[in-house]
Amino acid sequence: MNPATALATVLVDELVRCGLTDVVLAPGSRSAPLALALHAESRVRLHVRVDERSASYLALGLAKRSERPVALICSSGTATANFHPAVIEAGESGVPLLVLTADRPPELRGTGANQTIDQIKLFGTATRWFAEVGVPEDRPGQVAYWRSLACRAYQRAAGAGNPGPVHLNLAFREPLIPDGDTGWCEPLDGGVSGPWVRARVAPPPIALHIPPTRRGVLVVGDGAANVRRYVAAAGMAGWPVLSEPNGGARYGDHAISTYHYLLSTPEFADTHRPDVVVTLGRPGLSRPLLSWLRRAEEHIVVAPDLDRWPDPTRSATQVAQAVEIPVASGDDSWLHAWRQADLAVRAAMDEVLDLSGTSEPRLARDLVDALPNGALLFCGSSMPIRDLDQAMRPRRGIRLMANRGASGIDGLVSTAMGAALAHNGPSYALLGDLSFLHDQNGLILGPREPRPDICYVVVNNDGGGIFSLLPQAAVRDPFERVFGTPHGVDLGYVAAATGTPYTLVGDIGDLPKALRGEGPRIVEVRTDREENVLVHARLRDAAQDAVRSYLAT
């Protein structure tokens, strides 16, 4: 057996023994040993993509939804560089990726050899760990090295409290394909049970106990862990819960879904300052919420890994791996005030949205309402997630996800598809037109590839709608070209190019019918950027008027 085949066979087998179930492959020549070993491995589900960037985001989505390491493989050269954005997102959002890049052997590096670049620590600080595996050799001791290395890589990616991407760079000398010989200088198998190295789970951390108080608030942002436990504790303590949609805590009687507008009204924000705020995950969608956090007297950030804690407002007074929220005795006037204000604002907002026609905030609200229980909704990082944050009603029964680690608009079609492949139920995605076009290659599926049940709802306002709500909109002369960026693309033709079923929704009332179907499909909803600005202004004014009327009673 040639060394390249031996390394690939052993590495794939050991990763499977560790628990690997999904692998994404972007084909190439130098990675042939890994590709052939995976094709012969019946215990994993293999996904093949022709575009390395789409492949990397597909793996990201698979790992993000399954919360298990997913392997990502490519050939040498610029193929590896195309993984970088997804590796960054995985690093920032704590998604367990096993990035296996094939490479030329050392004697070809720095010589101008074809498809040879410097791949050593290519992804910099975005990875949790890097290893240059070394060229495989036919000598005793290699199998123990490869298997222990695979175990270490898998466990570092899974990360107790700090999951993230791990990069193994694998240099292969030719020959790259099996030579028909099965002999090796030592047994290649890894034993009859379990991985080569068994990593023990650390004991749970000791929780920080908070003094009993009714005037507390639980804030839940992206990447929050143990959400249900903390929401239940906040409910027992009489605390309102302010959760971003992707925080996973916008449900139940304590969920305050209009917090963005409540806290943007100074009269409410000033008179509803808590004794303590507990933050899970990383909030980052609402500027009024972030401004309010900066003024908190006691702000406790819960972070499973004390080497990395989110504190974008630099307002944290304590950081703990776990927090104990005690039941507080006394009246419920604190929670009652939040809930009554929330109800008043919700009624005012719904009235505006019901009269707004096919507007972007209404689409976000109505889409969530229309989804079946057990559904997954993946949303874009620009306006879609913000429209959901501001317009989505509380509800149970759905899982909502987004790429908010680095908040890029790249790779979203593929991330959503990966998440759908790992989800046990129907899946949907709410994306803007620029995000959709940025990753239209994500729709390319070979005839033998697993096909998820996912409906892409694309908001098409012919450009970058978020910029119309930012100060850049005041620079009228260059705005449309350098910020608005109209593209004029007919999305129906994009769908036709890949054979993806397509529906254009002309009236928002037709949305539930348009969502029906199976497999990958596209629903386009066309909106107007200038009208969207006016709808957001009407929402803000109506909400703030409702808050002030409530406070005056």
Secondary structure of 87-150 as H, E, C letters: HHHHHHHCCCEEEEEEECCHHHCCCCCCCCCCCCCCCHHHCCEEEECCCCCCCCCHHHHHHHHH
Mean pLDDT of 39-51: 96
DSSP letter for each residue of 46-87: EEE-S-HHHHHHHHHHHHHHH-S-EEEEE-STHHHHTTHHHH
What whole-number percentage of the chain has pLDDT above 90? 88
Q: Chain centroid to CA 2: how far?
A: 40
Q: Residue 19 above 90 pLDDT?
A: yes
Digit-coded pLDDT (tens) for 331-378? 789 999 999 999 999 999 999 999 999 999 999 999 999 999 999 999
Taking residue 468's Cβ as centre, other Cβ atoms within 10 Å add up to 21
Q: Chain centroid to CA 212: how far?
A: 34
pLDDT of residue 174: 94
What is residue 429's three-state secondary structure? Answer: strand
Considering the entire predicted model, what is its pTM? 0.95
Confidence of residue 214 (pLDDT cuts 50, 70, 90): confident
Q: What is the largest CA-CA distance in the chain?
A: 86
The rounded distance, in Å, linking the Cα atoms of 392 and 369 is 8
State the DSSP code for 206.
P
Q: For residue 270, give the H/E element and its range.
A: helix 266-271
pLDDT of residue 507: 94
Highest mean pLDDT: which of 118-127, 462-471, 476-485?
118-127
The rounded distance, in Å, linking the Cα atoms of 28 and 408 is 27
- Cβ partners under 8 Å of residue 203, min gap 6: none
The rounded distance, in Å, linking the Cα atoms of 122 and 101 is 10
Mean pLDDT of 528-536: 93
Beta 129-132 vs 166-171: how paired, if at all? parallel
pLDDT of residue 195: 86
Confidence of residue 464 (pLDDT cuts 50, 70, 90): confident
- Cβ partners under 8 Å of residue 16, min gap 6: 41, 43, 44
Confidence of residue 466 (pLDDT cuts 50, 70, 90): confident
pLDDT of residue 203: 77
pLDDT of residue 215: 93
pLDDT of residue 553: 86
Digit-coded pLDDT (tens) for 291-336? 999 999 999 999 988 888 999 999 999 999 999 999 987 778 999 9
Mean pLDDT of 462-477: 81
Residue 49, token pair as written in the block: 């993509």
State the DSSP code for 442.
G
How many Cα atoms sit within 13 Å of 181 on the Cβ side?
11
Residue 395, token pair as written in the block: 């509800």
Q: Which amino acid is at 61?
A: G
Residue 548, token pair as written in the block: 């002030």
Confidence of residue 161 (pLDDT cuts 50, 70, 90): confident
Confidence of residue 21 (pLDDT cuts 50, 70, 90): very high
The rounded distance, in Å, linking the Cα atoms of 525 and 455 is 13
pLDDT of residue 35: 97
Nearest to 464 by CA among 488, 480, 476, 477: 480
User: How far is the CA of 188 from the CAs of 140, 313, 336, in angstroms?
Assistant: 10, 52, 66
Nearest to 14 by CA among 39, 44, 56: 44
Mean pLDDT of 423-440: 97
